[in-house]
Amino acid sequence: MDLTPILDSLNDAQREAVSAPVQNLLVLAGAGSGKTRVLVHRIAWLIQVEDISPYSIMAVTFTNKAAREMRGRIEELLGLNPHGMWVGTFHGLAHRLLRSHWRDAGLPDNFQIMDSDDQLRLIKRLAKEMNLDEQRWPARQFQWFINAQKDEGLRARHIEPSNDPFQRTMLNIYVAYEQACERGGMIDFGELLLRSLELLRDRSPALLKHYQERFRYLLVDEFQDTNAIQYAWLRLLCGTERKLMAVGDDDQSIYGWRGARIENIQNLPEHFPGTTTIKLEQNYRSTKNILQAANAVIGNNQGRLGKQLWTEGSDGELLSVYSAFNEQDEASFIVGRIQQWVQDGNLRVDSAVLYRSNAQSRILEEMLIRAGVPYRIYGGQRFYDRLEIKNALAYLRLMSSRHNDTAMERVINVPTRGIGTRTIELLRQHAREQELSMWQAACEIIEQGLLPARAGNALRGFLELIDRLDTETRDTQLHEQTEHMIKHSGLVQHHEKEKGEKAQSRLENLDELITAARQFAGSWQEDIDTEEGEARTPLVAFLDQAALDAGDAQADEHQDSVQMMTLHSAKGLEFPLVFLAGMEEGLFPHKMSIEEPGRLEEERRLCYVGITRAKQKLYLTYAESRRLHGQENFNRASRFIQEVPPELIEEVRLNAQVRRPLTARSPSEPLFQGGGSSLANAEVPATNISLGQRVGHAKFGEGIVVNYEGSGPKARVQVNFDDEGSKWLMLGYANLQPL
């Protein structure tokens, strides 16, 4: 047996972990020390040496993308496809269980996954039905409550009702929410886990036994971020056998706010008997300077399990800190450096911009677009999150299951077809009173003639449309189904009406959806065990994937583009060139976290994650003034910058840059000072508007001035509005207010 590929590229400690006897193992080690590599090689070892069939192995990864990569790596190592192995995220694996055993799980066969947006929409509707004032009772708060309960494994019936009105209202919504989901055959992300846990634990001992016997080995990456229910799920599947390998790093636990528990690492040896712990200390990812900076920062946290990382690598370059005048200067600095990087012969895909919160990406995106630099955003506005795509998917969902209320609400009057709020209100009420889905309620209302003729006809027209789309495409291929729906639902005409760039991109996206459907059907293999019932139709499978692929799939994975993502999404990844943008007190550490030591430490771990993504070169940037969420803030540099030893840092000074005093700027002052910025500013002639400036418009809301042409009363400016997209406006008429 040739074990060279499996063992050769490992150090001693890594080899020990990979070739350990079949037993419970905990690999506890810092960033970039090869934990993920060990996990992959361990799987290859189990298959090749321990003769465990891939069919008996389950591996849990942090993203769907990581799961695909893991399969590829194992295939490389073994020279064969690990067919039958279960690899995926906790959510993906739970989903697979539920699809295979929907009946035992108490679900309809066409149950559908709701993403967090759908969930919020449903909650809003329920709160409205209960006459709860949105100001006082924000829907997000209910959403947060429901998800937190599910993460702890609690259903509404498990929660003691109390006299506290706050808690009682939360609970009431939870109850109504559970009923609505049940009725519509919809499940949210938390439900995937909770339901599959209940399936195995309470509903079907036979299934539990089957899977406990089937899976002879379970492996979990990023173990420090498992929450209570995921941990319970693992314990259940492992049973009393010794067959778990967990790899993780307590210093990278960053999901405490979502219920993740670092203690799971400490408890592991107690709950999983005979656990052997292995530490890895050599880092293979980063230069010495980067690693030292990471060690220094994380050293400020208390109560760590404690480990030091070292590297044989070179010192590398110093870390660069850039203090920008404002967020636009920061963005243009970053874009300039990326352009330089590419000019030097590097790939864009090897550069990453990481930031604390999603809202920060907008200005970076604008600068990248203006400079013509392609980029991808992980986890932000994903393709499947875009309005037109969600509309199209809602049509497909209704074609697949008429009882999906969320989908029905979304498109019942998109495009407008004369179904007004009064009719919709009536539908909701009828559905609620009769405990029906909205669709059933609509059928009944029409039958009983409860609507005025015009409204009744409009509603009937909608129901017939959906039925027709369904029957006309029954025997066609998935992409034909999709194309037919897009053409005949009225969505194309609807979006065409919007005009301008936005409409164009919406139509392109709809086209892209047809392509996505074609590609999906071409590569799709049913990997769900259909021990029960029918296999999924390609349509159902496609809709499942659209909901599940959350966060890590963008439309075009193949173009060479800059990688942009939040620090949270960057976990487990690595890039030669990394920018940590927005290193300011209040932003990072986030102002909500500064007061609480526990949360501050979580922010610091997040910073550690950020620093350790970098292989060769790391930039830390911050803006002396920043406009975010419509407010201008003046912040100090993040304490995390101060925590990096000064000898590891060089400050970037741009040639000929005039530093500006930190006083409020008058509206007519240009924002950019030229110098090293690749996007030297120009002021729109004879106005008080300058490029890059934020402005308000009575109809379109707030936006940023990105271009202009002409002068005097004929001048036109292009404004990128936050909500309305890009528009050209005549300055003379637009009455733009500088903000």
* Beta strands 694-697; 701-709: pairing state: antiparallel
715 is annotated as contributing to ligand binding: no
Indicate the residue type of 621.
T
- Nearer to ligand ATP by Cβ, of 9 and 413: the residue is 9
Site residues for ligand ATP, window 545-574 (CB under 6 A)? 572, 574
Site residues for ligand ATP, window 572-601 (CB under 6 A)? 572, 574
Name the nearest CA neighbour of 370 among 656, 602, 78, 705.
705
29 is annotated as contributing to ligand binding: yes
Distances (CA, A) of 216 to 213, 238, 598: 7, 8, 38
The phi and psi torsions of 670 (rounded to 5 degrees) equal -65, 155
Rounded to a whole number of angstroms, the minimum distance from the CB of residue 295 to Mg ion is 18
Rounded to a whole number of angstroms, the minimum distance from the CB of residue 14 to ligand ATP is 6
Q: Tell me the three state secondary structure of residue 236.
A: helix
Rounded to a whole number of angstroms, the minimum distance from the CB of residue 37 to ligand ATP is 4
User: Which of the ranges 4-12, 122-130, 369-377, 465-473 carries the binding residues for ligand ATP, by CB under 6 A?
Assistant: 4-12
Distance CA 607, CA 600 (A): 11
What x/- string results for residues 19 through 38 when contact with Mg ion is judged by CB under 5 A? ----------------xx--
Distance CA 279, CA 27 (A): 6
35 a catalytic residue: yes
128 is annotated as contributing to ligand binding: no
36 a catalytic residue: yes
35 is annotated as contributing to ligand binding: yes
423 a catalytic residue: no
DSSP track, 675-712: TT-SS---BPTTSS-BTT-EEEETTTEEEEEEEEES-G
Contact between 36 and ligand ATP by CB under 6 A: the answer reads yes
Catalytic residue chosen out of the listed positions 119, 230, 252, 328: 252
149 a catalytic residue: no
**Most distant pair of Cα atoms in the chain: their distance:** 81
- Nearer to Mg ion by Cβ, of 36 and 112: the residue is 36
Contact between 665 and ligand ATP by CB under 6 A: the answer reads no
Name the nearest CA neighbour of 215 among 201, 199, 195, 235.
235
Q: How many CB atoms lie within 10 A of CB 17?
A: 27
What x/- string results for residues 606 through 625 when contact with ligand ATP is judged by CB under 6 A? ------x-------------
Catalytic residue chosen out of the listed positions 14, 36, 112, 423: 36
Sequence-distant contacts of 128-132: CB under 8 A, at least 24 apart: 129/176, 129/428, 129/432, 130/172, 130/173, 130/176, 132/169, 132/173
Contact between 9 and ligand ATP by CB under 6 A: the answer reads yes
Contact between 285 and ligand ATP by CB under 6 A: the answer reads yes
Name the nearest CA neighbour of 575 among 623, 609, 622.
609
For 259-401, strand residue ranges (E) read 276-280, 319-326, 351-355, 375-377
How many residues touch ligand ATP under the rule CB under 6 A: the total is: 19
Distance CA 728, CA 734 (A): 10
Helices 90-100 and 228-238 pack at an angle, to 10 degrees, of: 60
Distances (CA, A) of 2 to 10, 13, 44, 48, 79: 15, 20, 12, 9, 12
Rounded to a whole number of angstroms, the minimum distance from the CB of residue 151 to ligand ATP is 23
With CB cut-offs between 5 and 8 Å by kind, which of ligand ATP, Mg ion, none does residue 546 bind? none
Site residues for Mg ion, window 571-610 (CB under 5 A)? 572
Distances (CA, A) of 460 to 211, 374, 417: 47, 46, 11
User: Cα–chain-centroid distance for residue 721?
Assistant: 24
User: Which of the ranges 7-15, 406-414, 465-473, 600-608 carries the binding residues for ligand ATP, by CB under 6 A?
Assistant: 7-15
Distance CA 677, CA 334 (A): 9
Rounded to a whole number of angstroms, the minimum distance from the CB of residue 5 to ligand ATP is 13
When CB distances to Mg ion are compared, the closest residue is 36
Q: By the 8 A CB rule, do 287 and 318 touch?
A: no
- Nearer to ligand ATP by Cβ, of 110 and 569: the residue is 569
CA quadruple 15, 16, 17, 18: dihedral sign: positive
Site residues for ligand ATP, window 251-270 (CB under 6 A)? 252
With CB cut-offs between 5 and 8 Å by kind, which of Mg ion, ligand ATP, none does residue 301 bind? none
Q: Choose which of 6, 13, 24, 35 interacts with ligand ATP (CB under 6 A).
A: 35
75 a catalytic residue: no
- Nearer to ligand ATP by Cβ, of 230 and 323: the residue is 230
Q: Choose which of 18, 32, 365, 528 interacts with ligand ATP (CB under 6 A).
A: 32
Distance CA 78, CA 51 (A): 13
Catalytic residue chosen out of the listed positions 151, 188, 191, 221: 221
Q: Kindly state the helix (H) or strand (E) to which residue 174 belongs, with its residue range.
A: helix 165-184
How many residues touch Mg ion under the rule CB under 5 A: the total is: 3
Rounded to a whole number of angstroms, the minimum distance from the CB of residue 97 to Mg ion is 25
DSSP summary character for residue 201: I
570 is annotated as contributing to ligand binding: no
Rounded to a whole number of angstroms, the minimum distance from the CB of residue 590 to Mg ion is 24
- Nearer to ligand ATP by Cβ, of 75 and 574: the residue is 574
Distances (CA, A) of 475 to 392, 480, 507, 537: 19, 10, 26, 11
- Nearer to ligand ATP by Cβ, of 316 and 703: the residue is 316
- Nearer to ligand ATP by Cβ, of 33 and 677: the residue is 33
Catalytic residue chosen out of the listed positions 222, 251, 365, 601: 222
- Nearer to Mg ion by Cβ, of 124 and 307: the residue is 307
Q: Choose which of 37, 279, 288, 484 interacts with ligand ATP (CB under 6 A).
A: 37
With CB cut-offs between 5 and 8 Å by kind, which of Mg ion, ligand ATP, none does residue 137 bind? none
Rounded to a whole number of angstroms, the minimum distance from the CB of residue 357 to ligand ATP is 21
150 a catalytic residue: no
With CB cut-offs between 5 and 8 Å by kind, which of ligand ATP, Mg ion, none does residue 413 bind? none
Distances (CA, A) of 23 to 264, 276, 710: 18, 8, 74
Catalytic residue chosen out of the listed positions 35, 65, 382, 604: 35
- Nearer to ligand ATP by Cβ, of 197 and 611: the residue is 611
Q: By the 8 A CB rule, do 88 and 121 touch?
A: no
Alpha helices in 204-298 (DSSP H): 205-214, 228-238, 263-271, 288-298
With CB cut-offs between 5 and 8 Å by kind, which of ligand ATP, Mg ion, none does residue 285 bind? ligand ATP
Which residues, in sequence order, are CB contacts of 45 under 8 Å at separation 6+?
A: 3, 6, 18, 19
394 is annotated as contributing to ligand binding: no
Q: How many CB atoms lie within 10 A of CB 512?
A: 17
Strand partners, 322: 621
Catalytic residue chosen out of the listed positions 402, 613, 617, 627: 613
33 is annotated as contributing to ligand binding: yes
Q: Choose which of 31, 127, 541, 550 interacts with ligand ATP (CB under 6 A).
A: 31
Site residues for ligand ATP, window 315-334 (CB under 6 A)? none
With CB cut-offs between 5 and 8 Å by kind, which of ligand ATP, Mg ion, none does residue 31 bind? ligand ATP
Contact between 311 and ligand ATP by CB under 6 A: the answer reads no
Rounded to a whole number of angstroms, the minimum distance from the CB of residue 13 to ligand ATP is 9
Q: Choose which of 6, 14, 441, 546 interacts with ligand ATP (CB under 6 A).
A: 14
Rounded to a whole number of angstroms, the minimum distance from the CB of residue 48 to Mg ion is 22
Residues that bind Mg ion (CB under 5 A): 35-36, 572
Binding residues for ATP: 29-36
Q: What are the catalytic residues?
A: 35-36, 221-222, 252, 613
Residues that bind ligand ATP (CB under 6 A): 9-11, 14, 29, 31-37, 249, 252, 284-285, 572, 574, 612
Binding residues: 29-36
